[in-house]
Each structure stands twice: as C-alpha cells, then as structure tokens.
A and B are shown apart, each in its own frame.
Chain A
Amino acid sequence: MTDYLWLLVALPLAGAVVNLFIGRRLGEKVAGWFGFGIVAAAFLIAFFAGVGFLGGDKLAETVLFFSWIPSVGADVAFLWDPLSVLLTLIVTGVGALIHLYSIGYMHGDARFPRFFAFLNLFIASMLILVLASNYALMFVGWELVGLSSYLLISFWFEKPSAAAAGKKAFIVNRIGDWGFLVALMIIFATFGTFDFQTIFAETPVLFGVGAGTITAITLLLFVGAAGKSAQIPLYIWLPDAMEGPTPVSALIHAATMVTAGVFMIARSAVLFDYAPTTAAIVAVVGAATALLAAVIAVAQTDIKKVLAYSTISQLGYMVLAVGVGAYSAGLFHLTTHAFFKALLFLGAGSVIHALAGEQDMRRMGGLRKVMPVTFITMGIAWLSIAGIIPFSGFWSKDEILAATFAKGGWWIGLWAIGIVVALITAFYMTRLFVMTFLGDSRAPEGVHPHESPATMTTPLIILAVFSAGIGGLNTPWQLVFEHYLEPAFAGVMHPAEAEFSTLFWLGAVALLVAVTGIVIAWRRYGRAELPAEDGSFWTNALGAFGVDDFYGRWIVAPGRRVAEWWASVFDPKVIDGGVHGIARLVTGSGDELRILQSGQVRWYASGVAIASVVLLVLFLILGGAF
C-alpha cells in the first residue's frame, strides 16, 4: 500500500489546483463535493496503508520519491511510522469532516471554490509536514502550513480585522520559524544531515544527557513549536485568528495546524530526551500557558474567543505532556482534542450560522429546543473537554496529569496547576454551554434560529461519536494507543508510571474537580438573569490581561519606529541617493562625451587610425622592443 502514499499529498494538491483554476466554472456544488471527496480519498488511502501498524507487526518504512539535496540527507521521502500515520489520519479524517461541513457553512459565499482550494492546500501542506522523513522537508511543510493559514484566516479580506489577523498569525509564526530554522542549521552543523533516523541514531553515540548542543537545538525547536502550537509568549495570534470562517478555526486552530508544534517535539523525542533542561522548560511553559489561557477564557463573551483560549489552554496540556516525556499521553490528548475541539468549533459555527452571524454569548440562550442535534453533540464535546468520565477528554487529560504527578518532586507543582486548569476548564465550558443552549432566548427580535442543514450536522454527529468513545482506546486497563505508538518512541526513555491505586486517586481528584467546576458554573449561569461581569477581574481577563497592548507598546511600536527610520531616512537618502548618484554620473559623463560623437566618418576613421598606432606602440613597449 505504501506505493500509493504519494497520492496523500498529490490528491489534495490537485484538488487545490483544480478548485483554484476552474472551481468557478464547476459551480458551488461540484467544487465543494470535489474538495471533500479528494480529502476523504486521502483518508481512505492513509487508513488502508496504515492499518497494519495496529497489529504491531508492521515496521516503519521510509518511502523515497526522489532525491532533493542528497548531500545533506534532504530527500523528498515520507517516514511511514505509527506517529505519522496517526497524524495523517487525524488531518485527513477530521479535515474531511470539516470540508463536508464547509459545503453547508460557506453556501452562497462569493469565493466558495477558492475556500475549498485553500482548505485542500492546507491539508496537503500539513501532510507534507507530518509525513516528512527529514527536518528539511518538514520545514517545507511547516512554512506551507503558515502560508495556507494566512490565506484562510484572512479569507474575508474585505474586513480589515480579518486581513490584520492573517498578517498577525503569519508574522508571529515567523518568529517561531526563525527558531526552527536556526535549530536546523545547528542540527546540520552537528550531524551533517537532516534525516530523522540518522540524527536520532547518532544522538546517543555523540552526546551524553544534558549536552549543550542538544539543549540549544531543542530550545530553538521549542521556539518553533511555541509559534505553531500557540504557547507563551507566541500564543497571541490564535485568538485573533478567529476572524477566519468558523470551519477554518476548526481545521487550523483545533485539529491540525496547532498540533504541528506538539508533533514536532514528539518527532524529536530523542533529542528532547537528551536535554532534560529543555524538557523542564517545555513542561513549565505548557503548564503556564494552560493556566493563563484558561483564566482568560473564563471572561470571554465571544463564543469563538472562548474556544480559542480553550484551544491554547489544551495545547498547554499537550506541551506539558511532551515536556514530561509522556509522548503517547500528549499525542493521545492531541487526538481526543482534535475531535472534541473540532466538534466544539463546528457546533459554535452551527450556532453562529443559526443566529445570522451573532457571536456574543450574551445574546444567545435557549437554543436547545430549536437546534437539538447541535445541542446534543455540543453537550458531548462539553463533557469531554471538561473531563467527565467516560468521555474522551477525561482519559487523555488524566493520563497527562498522572504522568506529571508520577515524576514526583517539583513536578507535582505542575500537576497542581494542571488540576486548577481542569477546574477552570470545566467552569468556562459550562458557562459557554449554559449561556448558549439553556435558559431562554436572548436573541434580538427578528432572528429566528434554525437547525443547520445535513451537510453541517452529519460531521457534528460523527465527531460526537468519536469524542465520546475514543477515550476507550487508552484506559489504564487497556493501553491500545500507547502500544500502537511504542515503535515510534523505541529510542526514548519511558516516563515514570504511577501505581494503579495512585492512578485511581488521581482520576478521582480530577473528576471531582471537573464536577465542582461544572456545578459552580451551573449555579452561576443557570438562572434567568445573567450575573453582571464587570469587576476588575472580568474586564482584565476579557482584555486578555493586556498582553497584546504590552507587545504593541514594547515590540510592535519600537519595531515600527525602526522601520520608519529605514523608510524615511535610510531609503531616500542612502538607497535612492546611491541610485540617483549613479544616474547623475552617467548623464553627466554622457554630456561631456557627446562631442566625440560628431557624426563625421573621417573623424571616426582618424580615431581608429590613431588608436591603432597608440596600441601598436604600447604593445611594442610592453614586448620590450624599445
């Protein structure tokens, strides 16, 4: 089956090209279903090519397409192992559902085919990223993901805020890309290749644990991961990116793009294993991001902003997990999160669609009656992210917390932060759910909410089934997921594991905390009147604690001043001055030399004759005749 792997990237890429150039002629219906079908086909190929890994007897293989830069080990080749299969299935599977949903959601949009072209391009980019067999090709995918996210976030570019959000996402990601790129340079200088398997095989030979080179590489890689996976201090692009159409939020900011950073750390697990300092920094940053974003999410009134900050917070959990060294726990949370967060975004999109573009939760409410499918599926996602047994979020979140706790020492502090985040998560998700679906409608007059069309509800139902059930893949009794991923992390130390009884108590605490959060929020928001939220905490948290203003004042404004100096002083004086100087030199000398161009044939002939004599004499002198 691996013979067909090239189709995984080729199909969405072809879809993008077709939709971009003749999508308008195909019409909305064909363009949309074509875009969806091509991603679904990629999913099926990936599924049949990767299903062998489940049995555990299939070996990882490298599928070479052609040599790109052979001398540096940068081939266009796929590394087909359990890790890349997992990500491919998530990207194409959840991606296909989001395509299907978009057929309904984007109905009637003026640039409908272009939207599907961009979605397909995004899928292709993400697949290059996850399937790459070396850092160089991974970086190509990494950059393409950045490009397609820019195109999708600023899809409604007529809105200045959407255009600005796209630029912001792109520029903030560039900072992360810088880290990744420098890391690649050090990797090449150290190992002389970009190939994953060579690098990971040589690391234990060349270095001891805690080697400075590896620490530098991993720290820079983490800068890249923090950019894509929206961690402190580079998370600020993600909330703004909600300016894109809601399916884009679901695709980029829940299921795929933001997982790239976590995936990259998991892929580089061997390197991070040899840099415990970096791993500790990664874990602390993850926990801090989880806490900060969760607190901000509490006060948001825009339904998509709540989900945006919740995404950042959940990514914090994943980063914490990979920092702890519990890679399979982190990837498991990545998987469950892909399902329930995509579901939450698509559900929110369904609500926004029903309310004719309304995103403020204070003007929602009472939607359970008119939107039963959205209500029930969103309910499952809510319980899942809040961490209620037996929904998927409980199992994956609990595994991360247990792995953190099991490390002992100061890591227990990180576990405590994780528990607090779990409490806050349950609180703000309940707030969102109650404000949106329960109580009476607070929608303005004239808005008549309605259930969304089948193209939109079908993905919701499928995602809800997975959100509810996928946790069963990795319970303390049955570690299917962990065993599946084991070959991908063969060279990595195993994280500390807790006793079963400890696991039980940790799970009980997490569950108790989640229920507490839900009850507090339910009592607060489950009333006819919404509580006033205008205290200093609420306004500060609503404004995301002024981090954006801080960056604006201390980074963007000085940067702008520097750029203005270059634009208003350096460019006109030095650059233009240089160019004008050369031009003046040419015209001036031309004016002086024009007398030579007399138009007289005899004048020219004399020139030739005299020059010949001069040259002749010169050569004779040089030749030593005189």
Chain B
Amino acid sequence: MTVTVTWYLLLGAALFSMGVAGVMIRRNALIMFMSIELMLNSVNLTFVAISKDLGLIEGQVAALFVMVIAAAEVTIGLAIIVAIFRKKASANVDELAELKG
C-alpha cells in the first residue's frame, strides 16, 4: 500500500475540519487559538503535499509565508488574550460581547 498525495490531502482536510470545529465550539480563547493554528498548519500540509506532487516550488514558498504570518499572529493574539485576561480574569470569549448590536 503506497502512500499517495490523496492521503496527505485527506489528512489536511481532516485537520482543517477539526480546527474549524474547535473555533466554533470551544469557548476558551486559548483553545480557539490553538484551533486556528491547526487550520493554518493543515493548509501548510496541503500546500507542501501538492507542491511535491506537481514538482512546483510555489507551494513550499506559500507554506513558508504562512509560517511567518502565523508566528506574527501568535505574538499579537497572545498579547491580546493576556490583556483581556488581566481585565476580566477569564478567557471565556462568550463573556466578551461588548459589541453586541
């Protein structure tokens, strides 16, 4: 049984779906954050798999970009979560509904 590119794509899709479900279901800001990371990395996996399959370098370049941006996003996101935690002593995003219309 050979491992084809389809396997990688299915794994990426599964990881991405888990990430989406995590963001939609969990209330803890940190867990949501980790779910987002999961989504990003599942996309990275897809990129690299397809890049290898087609013999193109662009997919790997895109994956590198995503990593850089994810790093920046983590920095800012964690800072925001820490700030919110200091103010509310809670990481429950459902309590942050000040912008309700």
List residues of A whose CB falls within 8 A of some B CB: 594-602, 605-606, 609
Contact = CB atoms under 8 A, between A and B. Distances in A.
A601 B93 contact: yes
Contacts of B93: 600-602
Given A602-B93, A602-B94, A597 B23 contact: no
12 contacts: A595-B101, A596-B101, A597-B99, A598-B100, A598-B101, A599-B101, A602-B24, A602-B25, A605-B23, A605-B24, A609-B23, A609-B24
Contacts of B27: 602
Nearest to A598: B100
B13 interface: no
A402 B32 CA distance: 105
Contacts of B97: 598-600
B96 A599 contact: yes
Contact of A602 (B23, B98, B99, B101): B23
A617 to B, nearest CB: 15
Interface string B76-101: 00000000000000000110111111
A594 B96 contact: no
Interface of B: 20, 23-25, 27, 32, 93-94, 96-101
A237 to B, nearest CB: 60
Question: Which 10 pairs show the lowest CB-CB distances between chains A and B?
Answer: A597-B101, A599-B100, A599-B97, A594-B101, A599-B99, A601-B93, A605-B23, A606-B24, A609-B20, A598-B100
A258 B75 CA distance: 80
Contacts of A605: 23-24, 32
A351 to B, nearest CB: 77
B94 A600 contact: yes
A226 B97 CA distance: 74
Given A600-B100, A605-B23, 6 more contacts: A594-B101, A599-B99, A599-B100, A599-B101, A600-B93, A600-B97
A602 B26 CA distance: 8
Given A602-B23, A605-B23, A597 B100 contact: yes
Contacts of A597: 99-101
A106 B96 CA distance: 74
Contacts of B94: 600, 602
Contacts of B25: 602
Nearest to A590: B101
Contacts of A594: 101
B93 to A, nearest CB: 5
A599 B23 CA distance: 15
B90 to A, nearest CB: 14
A598 B95 CA distance: 12
A599 B98 contact: yes
Contacts of A606: 24
Contacts of B32: 601-602, 605
A604 to B, nearest CB: 10
Nearest to A602: B24
Contacts of B23: 602, 605, 609
A609 B24 CA distance: 9
B32 to A, nearest CB: 8
Nearest to B23: A605
A595 B97 CA distance: 13
A596 B94 CA distance: 15
A598 B98 CA distance: 9
Given A606-B24, A609-B20, A609-B24, A601 B96 contact: yes
Contacts of A600: 93-94, 97, 100
Nearest to B96: A601
A595 B100 CA distance: 8
Contacts of B99: 597, 599
B96 to A, nearest CB: 7
Nearest to A595: B101
Nearest to A594: B101
